Amino acid sequence: MKACFMGLGYIGLPTAIIAAGHGIHVTGVDINASIVDKTNAGELHIVEPGLEAMLREVVSSGMLRASTVPDVCDAYFMVVPTPFKGNHEPDVSYVEAATRAVLPLLKAGDLYVIESTSPIGTTEQMAGIIFGERPELEGKIHIAYCPERVLPGNVIYELVHNDRVIGGLDEESTSHAVEFYSRFVKGTLHRTNARTAEMCKLTENSSRDVQIAFANELSLICDKAGIDVWELIRLANKHPRVNILQPGCGVGGHCIAVDPYFITADFPMESKIIGTAREINNYKSFWCAEKIKNAMLEFELNRHRKPVVAMMGLAFKPNIDDLRESPAKYIASKVMQGCNNANILVVEPNVREHNVFKLTDCREAYERADIVVFMVAHDPFKDLPPRPDKIILDFCGITKR
Ligand code: SAJ
């Protein structure tokens, strides 16, 4: 069995490595030649615990080879980004480009799978492109959609043990895709059709975004009502069937903050809660920036000098080094716009240096600051001693643990 993975990113590369580790000859394709070279040298270009050893093994055994162009294989997997354009319109151009790259190599009996998070109907759209160029393949190849659910930092375990949803354009395609994934997935493989599988991925992440928006909305109400939202949620969750998530400084990352737009773009009239949840989660970051600026003004009025402010955390979620699409980064920038940066200390324990923000050590910033703003619940912040002499703005509940 030979498989070609188009896209060697956070999902494509680990999946290619694990498939190669289970006896599948894998060609990993990426347009970025340095990623190809690093992969063939047995070096990871992403951070994922335990993965580099696995990469070295499959490269040295010849089971995985990286290239900038695809090989003739039996199965082809599109695992490339699906960003959205400025107006939140989904952009499937990378999926289309990867499809066109493998299209000339396809032969009867082959399997073609999209893993990239995609708007409903993308799998059918790509089938139309394939059969438009290669009409003789119609009904002869197997086409399916299979989204991933892995959490960065736990990818190896989750790729093997998470259940997966597999949606073919027809029953036989679903069966061929199930047969492939069963070679390395121990989780249950749930059969469905392509549209349902596409929507399932969007539904999973949109449901989380809506749940987080509920928690963030509670935090805005409680701030006005003089209620400790962390205590409120802790008590409400004592109910056996209530599970309210945690408020934050906004929703970041390129999944939860992005995928709901794949639904609202196509169903603007029907997706009211999903659309409003996105607005609430985006507004929360703006609200946090305003709270900080107000606290700074109040300090200056009372103490007749500008405060030193410690912005604690820049990553998009706790205990990771990923700052892409981070609400905390947005807030830090908004706060720094309004004042000279001398008195703003930025802390991010998971990153050594940053090309925009001058980073300060966590304890030093905590000691020097008049106002301490907890934006991301990184573990090192939990060890900081209480300092009632300082003004604490806690947007992530870290002081409430
Ligand atoms: N967040 C909160 N409050 C919470 C939970 C999260 O404010 O109670 C924030 C986080 O700080 C972060 C954002 O939401 O800014 C997203 O966090 P996340 O924990 O959802 O992490 P992701 O985006 O890395 O992973 C999600 C996961 N999807 C679900 O949990 C339904 C993961 O399984 C998916 O594979 C991933 O999106 C993806 O690739 O789609």
Enumerate residues 6+ apart whose C-beta is below 8 A from 395: 219, 247, 248, 249, 288, 291, 373, 374, 375
Residue 338 pLDDT exceeds 80: no
Å from CA of 143 to ligand 1 middle: 29
Enumerate residues 6+ apart whose C-beta is below 8 A from 211: 244, 245
pLDDT at 342: 72
Chain segment 213-229, per-residue pLDDT in tens: 999 999 999 999 999 99
Question: Which of 117, 217, 255 has most ligand 1 atoms within 8 Å of CB, for mutation?
Answer: 255
Chain segment 1-29, per-residue pLDDT in tens: 999 999 999 999 999 999 999 999 999 99
Question: Which of 46, 117, 151, 282 has most ligand 1 atoms within 8 Å of CB, for mutation?
Answer: 151
Å from CA of 256 to ligand 1 middle: 6
pLDDT at 85: 84
CB-ligand 1 contact for 260 (6 Å cutoff): no
**Mean pLDDT value of segment 64-70:** 98
| Lookup: tokens for 318 | 């706790």
pLDDT-based confidence at 88, cuts 50/70/90?
confident
Residue 197 pLDDT exceeds 90: yes
Å from CA of 254 to ligand 1 middle: 9
**What whole-number distance in Å separates Cα of residue 252 and Cα of residue 241?**
27
* Residues labelled catalytic: 201, 255
Ligand 1 atom nearest to CA at 251 = 15
